[in-house]
Amino acid sequence: MKYTTLGITLFRKCNANCSICCFESSPKCNESLEVNFIKKYIDSAVGDKYLRNISFTGGEPFLDYNLLLELVEYTTKKGFNATTITNCFWCHDL
């Protein structure tokens, strides 16, 4: 199989608590990946023939905006596109 996107669940914490959530995320969840582990994981993807995108999700990845920015910068420096999956709680103007 030719995978073009690698998804990384940063943590399970979410501002929402949806009954359909496949990660069972909620505001009470505290599990998270350590930042250096995430960077090593991204490093291990460098050189993959088909991989183009690293996608950060959770939980809600924008709950730790500084971490998200740090990882987006790290990802793009490694030559990948950075994407995120969010519930857009931060969006106030449409």
Cβ-based nearer residue to ligand SF4, 81 or 84: 84
Cα gap 56→71, rounded to integer Å = 9
Q: CB of 14 within 8 A of CB of 59?
A: yes
The answer to the question of residue 59 lying near ligand SF4 (CB under 6 A) is: yes
Region near ligand SF4 per CB under 6 A, out of 1-9, 28-36, 54-62, 64-72 = 54-62
Q: Which two tokens stand for residue 29?
A: 């969840």
Residue numbers at the binding site for ligand SF4 (CB under 6 A): 14, 16-18, 21, 23, 25, 58-60, 87
